[in-house]
Amino acid sequence: MTKDVQCAVPVSAFRQRLARMQALGPGLLVSLAIAMASAFIADHYGGPTLLYALLFGMACHFLSEDSRCVAGITFTSRTVLRLGVALLGVRITLEQIGSLGWFTVLAAVCAVTATILVGWMSARLLGVRDDFGVLTGGAVAICGASAALAISAVLPRHEHSERDTLLTVVAVTGLSTVAMITYPIISNLLGFSPAQAGTFLGGTIHDVAQVVGAGYMISPATGDIATVVKLLRVALLVPAVVVIAWLFRRQQSTQAHSERRIPLVPGFLLAFICLVAVNSSGLMPHFVVQALSETSRACLVVAIAALGLKTSLQKLATVGWRPIALMVGETLFLALLVIGLLYLGR
């Protein structure tokens, strides 16, 4: 009897994993197919692979509404993305991080704080809820959709909480996509150096994937710096959420069983830091660094294809103008603030 029970447990676990793979398969394969097509066109006709993957994904947005693909696309745009970003740690050393200097770190803190405050004040001027201004300001200032989910978990609950969170996620993803395409052009027009362009992109674009995509469209050096600067902003999620929770005096007892509660420190950030430390020590063989770097790029291309699949400009047009105006204003404010800080730091 005991043996039968022991045998049943592994079989049951295997069936659960198999069912999970079957659920993820269609969406993952669609994202992979778009990524492979993008790589093929980039290799044969030139151009940025990441941008092709994004645009082709957006063109196939209808697939994200197919129930068979939803789970796989969501998995790819989150888990595969985080794996790709974490593996980027093998491209960066502590020496590179130190080269950013104290001014960049201080500028990131000021930009995040100022953008959240502007979101709060602008919400009051536009006649929307204060907490919605903080939610959108934090999403724009820190790390897009991930920040929106984390911040929404500590804001006061009301009848429009779910709607506000969904609207913020959809809008900030769309704005981040637009920024990924336009900000590299702005960097060139302003005559930024690779380091300045990386700081600008990493300090302004909302989501990690779009920061990475925009940075590596310009050059590997710009991509590396943009990634480091962006992860500095991601690290600020922890103190930002703590301060917001304290300001709104949220009752912890009512949120003890919240399904939307997520870890305050993203796991991919911890993995990224560990890989940076190992790579800085010089103990990692060169061929391992190369292999992990290529794996990272492949993951990012597939993840950005999935993000393109999830991006719907049509949904942005169905909401009122005030929330969109609020987030556009916050985005423009952050971009202008970072540009001003870059000129100040010259």
What pLDDT tens digit does each residue of the chain (346 aa) get? 555 555 555 666 666 777 777 778 888 899 999 999 998 998 888 767 777 887 888 888 888 778 888 888 888 877 887 788 788 778 777 776 676 778 888 888 899 999 999 999 998 898 888 888 999 999 899 888 778 877 877 787 776 676 777 778 778 878 888 898 899 999 999 989 888 899 999 999 988 778 888 898 888 888 888 888 887 887 787 788 778 877 876 444 444 444 444 444 557 767 877 888 888 888 888 888 888 888 988 888 888 888 778 776 666 566 677 888 899 999 999 999 999 988 886 6
User: Residue 339 and residue 200: Cα distance in Å, rounded?
Assistant: 7
The C-alpha R_g of the chain, in whole angstroms, comes to 21
User: Could you tell me which residues come within 8 angstroms of residue 204 by beta carbon, excluding any fewer than 6 positions away?
Assistant: 179, 183, 331, 334, 335, 338
Instruction: Please name the amino acid found at residue 184.
Output: P
User: Could you tell me which residues come within 8 angstroms of residue 227 by beta carbon, excluding any fewer than 6 positions away?
Assistant: 85, 88, 91, 92, 202, 208, 211, 212, 215
Which pLDDT value is given to residue 96? 64
CB 293 within 8 A of CB 14: no
Residue pLDDT, tens place only, 185-218: 999 999 898 888 999 999 999 887 788 888 988 8
- Provide the token pair at 64: 């994200």
Domain positions in the chain are 28-344
Q: What is the dihedral of CA 325, 326, 331, 336, to 10 degrees?
A: 90
Residue pLDDT, tens place only, 145-201: 778 877 877 787 776 676 777 778 778 878 888 898 899 999 999 989 888 899 999
Which of 290, 102, 104, 87 has its CA nearest to residue 195? 104
Instruction: Please name the amino acid found at residue 335.
Output: A
Which of 82, 122, 113, 138 has its CA nearest to residue 275? 82
Kindly report whether the global pTM for this prediction surpasses the value 0.85. no
- Provide the token pair at 13: 């676990």
Neighbours of 246 (CB within 10 A): 10
Which pLDDT value is given to residue 317? 61
- CA distances to 43, 56, 57, 183, 242 from 60, rounded to whole Å, are 21, 6, 5, 24, 39
Three-class secondary structure of residue 232 per DSSP: helix
Residue reference for tokens 């947005």: 61
Which pLDDT value is given to residue 257? 46
